[in-house]
Amino acid sequence: MENQTSNLTTPGEMLSFDRFKDGVLHDYYIACLSRETSLLGRREVLTGKAKFGIFGDGKEVAQVAMAKFFKPGDWRSGYYRDQTFMFAIGVGTPQQYFAQLYADPDPHNEPFSMGRQMNSHYTSRNVDAEGNWLNLTEIKNTATDMAPTAAQMPRSFGLAYASKSFREIPELQQFKNLSNNGNEVCFCTIGDASTSEGHFWETVNAAGVAQVPLVIFVWDDGYGISVPREMQTTKGSISAALKGFEKEEGTNGFYISKVQGWDYMGMIEAFDEGIALARETHTPVLFHVDELTQPQGHSTSGSHERYKSTERLEWERERDCLKKLKEWILKNGLADEATLEKIETDARKNVKEGRDNAWRAYLKPIKEQVDQTKNLLNQLILDVPEKAAELKKLIPDLVTNREPLRKNVLQTLYRAILICGDKAGSVQAYYDTLCRENAIIYNSNLYNEGAKSALKVPPIAPVITESSPVMNGYEILNHYFDQLFANNPKVLAFGEDLGQIGDVNQGFAGLQKKHGVERISDTGIHELSIMGRGIGLALRGLRPIAEIQYLDYLVYGLQPLTDDVASLQYRTGGQQFCPIIIRSRGHRLEGIWHSGSPMGMIINSLRGIHICVPRNMVQAAGMYNTLLQSNDPGLIVESLNGYRLKERLPENLDTMTVALGVPEILQEGKDITIVSYGSTLRIIQDALQKIASRGISCELIDVQTLLPFDIHHRILDSLKKTNRIIFIDEDVPGGAAAYMFNKVMEEQGGYRYLDVAPRTITAKEHRPGYGSDGDYFSKPNAEEIAAVLIDMMRE
């Protein structure tokens, strides 16, 4: 740093020098502002006003340097220590930071997550109130933060890949509101310890192969909580470990640079060169930002004095980035001590004001509820004098609580209701009102509640006539995808074996050659990055179809789907949308790893994503159309044994839609309601033929989607008629069949209409054995189903 003086005094450039000096002092102010936010934030946790804190202290100088190169249209995909960067780009403020620390659910106070995420979790809106895409080139974009370590990596690859797509695909050049010729860079931040996660390595490999404008900043303070980096990273250095990924002439790979996190000018120069390279040439870049410190330790959960030596702590004090920046400013005559002290004082004052304002704003509505509750209880004491003594005891605990919670108000009201019963009157009414309000505050937006919800897409039935050609299911899909790519330039599809050979079941056969390798492309065997690529493309306004070749392998890509996509609308309060479509295939096939039906795992880990389980390919095409008309994410599981079944090609293949959450009655009956989906329906139809001579009249219902499930209670209507019901699927016991059972029996109240015990038929607990007999004895078969149906009629 000491050798950078010559950069400050270019002859004849006094005006530029003054601007530079002002910029340096502003950066110093932002760094001090952020440091004070961390210090006061920790105190708020330790005094009990906040639950938990994790802060960005020690990384301030690196982040103000990084922020200089972040432009409108760029995307940040980071983690929970980026507060300085957000302050520097003008997106976050200390007051908003404390509002989030207090979990303030008011979006005016905490605009990033409505108090649903912990501190330093940011977001930016990508659609307007009507669900239309904003002009993302004018926004300093942030992919909504999440806490799992390295979870930001897969989607960072996708955000950068979108720039590659916008630059290289002619059909996308028209969408000027989404990209400026692919010039946008994804800034990805990660702690050094988290580079040990598989997410990091898979993403680095995928980005190095694809050559996308991804710039990764690795914050290295020497530890991962208490574990030193020498115990986590080969050679004790992520940049040294990544040496083989470095780009050389004639190869792909990364531009890698190692900088010191206290060296303000050194970082500015390195960042300028590397980020420009990424922006102009789409070469991915990694900055190993070394020699950072963590003045307060990892988090409020513990003290770093327990695991750092006295020598290490002293080393960190000497290399504190604020101390080093201040020394450099003074040495180079950019300011005197008095000026810097005033900056520090102003920063402390502004942070305290932000903290106090945030706390008052957070408490205001709760205090109003406390006052209203107090008034109602005093009136109830007058109205129910025989309970006055008990009611009077409730008031002091509530009104003397200096830091009341919403739950304290409800708990007090409910105690009063228990005391007074039917006489609670206005107290009961207020309690009910608050329950409804808090349900909106804390339980809304898991699914899209706006105009572009998939549930608002009207159904359009397939038009099939006697002249409609009969063809294999995979040919239906091939026709569908051909029309889709011809009509919707935003659609991109990618996956293993998807491009050149047209997918393993030929749904995309010949389409890469017709529509281009950039739009229909092969990927490496890296399901996690395939999901990340789809997430990033979708966040940027494109319509990716990201394929997982077999449903069994969805587990590889499950983490970003459950932690990122499924919770996205909830944790942003409906501000950010990710309309990815995950395409896969599963169910009946002969083999342990290609016959998966882990629907229970999927529906319980992916609440927030529509789960579509079509029985045939016409139905699948309609589901694709429905999802593509919405802003919602969805998983479509095509039936493996349906690709060669004969179907008629609808005349309106490109416009037909399927209403999500609405079951279809395939066969009407009056004795037993049978509920199932996908490939199992064909096994059930075989069973019904076997018992046709018994005169048993069964109503066969295809649920079509598991999420959402039977939103109009059509299954209940059937049960009211038959008074018998059975749920059949090929998931393990307690999986999707139990889920459907719960939905109908408990949520819909189906138990009231039963004449006999309800049944479930599922696969066995183990994976299916290999071969035809393995399939027959591992999953529901027609004879087993027929026997249970006969037994139900005997009961």
| 119 close to 101: Cβ distance less than 8 angstroms | yes
The residues facing 639 across adjacent strands are: 586
Query: Quick count: other Cβ atoms within 10 Å of Cβ 513?
Result: 12
| 775 close to 768: Cβ distance less than 8 angstroms | yes
Please name which of 212, 78, 205, 82 lies closest in space to residue 158, comparing C-alpha atoms: 212
Lowest mean pLDDT among 71-80, 433-442, 472-481, 772-781: 772-781
Arithmetic mean of pLDDT, 634-663: 96
CA distances from 56 to 83, 124, 264, 266, 415 (A): 6, 20, 17, 21, 43
DSSP state letters, 452-521: T-GGGSPPB-----TTSPEEEHHHHHHHHHHHHHHH-TTEEEEETT-SSS--TTSTTTTHHHHH-TTTEE
What is the distance between the alpha carbons of residues 262 and 525, in angstroms, rounded to a whole number?
Answer: 39
291 pLDDT band, cuts 50/70/90, is very high
Helix (H, G, I), strand (E, B) or coil at 381: helix
- Arithmetic mean of pLDDT over the chain: 94
Per-residue model confidence (pLDDT) at position 92: 95
Per-residue model confidence (pLDDT) at position 15: 66
Give me the percent of the chain exceeding a pLDDT of 70.
98
Contacts with 372 (C-beta within 8 Å, 6 or more apart), sequence order: 430
The residues facing 521 across adjacent strands are: 494
Q: Which two tokens stand for residue 398?
A: 């509530």
Contacts with 415 (C-beta within 8 Å, 6 or more apart), sequence order: 394
What is the distance between the alpha carbons of residues 520 and 512, in angstroms, rounded to a whole number?
Answer: 5
Please name which of 81, 216, 80, 120 lies closest in space to residue 160, comparing C-alpha atoms: 216
Per-residue model confidence (pLDDT) at position 14: 60
Tally of residues, the chain: 795
Per-residue model confidence (pLDDT) at position 295: 83
10 pLDDT band, cuts 50/70/90, is very low
Per-residue model confidence (pLDDT) at position 13: 58
Arithmetic mean of pLDDT, 407-436: 96
What is the distance between the alpha carbons of residues 733 and 740, in angstroms, rounded to a whole number?
Answer: 12
DSSP state letters, 105-165: --TTTSTTTTT-S-TT------B-TTSPBP-GGGS-EEPPP--STTTHHHHHHHHHHHHHH
Secondary structure element (H or E) that encloses residue 544, with its range: strand 543-547
Q: 235 — alpha (psi -120 to 50), left (phi > 0) or beta?
A: left
Query: Quick count: other Cβ atoms within 10 Å of Cβ 727?
Result: 26
Contacts with 698 (C-beta within 8 Å, 6 or more apart), sequence order: 667, 669, 671, 672, 673, 674, 688, 789
Per-residue model confidence (pLDDT) at position 323: 96
Alpha helix segments (H runs only) across 332-393: 337-383, 388-392
Give me the percent of the chain exceeding a pLDDT of 90.
89
DSSP state letters, 78-100: --TT-HHHHHHTTS--HHHHHHH
Q: pLDDT tens digit string along 668-693?
A: 999 999 999 999 999 999 999 999 99
Dihedrals φ, ψ of 665, to 5°? -85, 110
Does the pLDDT value for residue 433 go beyond 50? Answer: yes
Unique residue bearing structure tokens 């009969």: 470
Q: pLDDT tens digit string along 343-378?
A: 999 999 999 999 999 999 999 999 999 999 999 999
Arithmetic mean of pLDDT, 30-40: 97
Does the pLDDT value for residue 726 go beyond 50? Answer: yes
Per-residue model confidence (pLDDT) at position 309: 84
Secondary structure element (H or E) that encloses residue 395, with its range: helix 394-399
Q: Annotated active-site positions, please?
A: 527, 594
Q: pLDDT tens digit string along 459-472?
A: 999 999 999 999 99
Per-residue model confidence (pLDDT) at position 1: 44
DSSP state letters, 716-757: HHHHHHHS-EEEE-SSPTTSHHHHHHIIIIIIS-GGGG-SS-
Q: How remote is the C-alpha of 786 from its chain's centroid?
A: 43
Rounded (10°) CA dihedral 744, 747, 750, 751:
120
Q: pLDDT tens digit string along 114-164?
A: 999 999 999 999 999 999 999 999 999 999 999 999 999 999 999 999 999
228 pLDDT band, cuts 50/70/90, is confident
Lowest mean pLDDT among 183-197, 459-473, 529-543, 587-601: 587-601
DSSP state letters, 234-246: GGG-HHHHTGGGB
Strand 610-612 with 186-191, pairing: unpaired
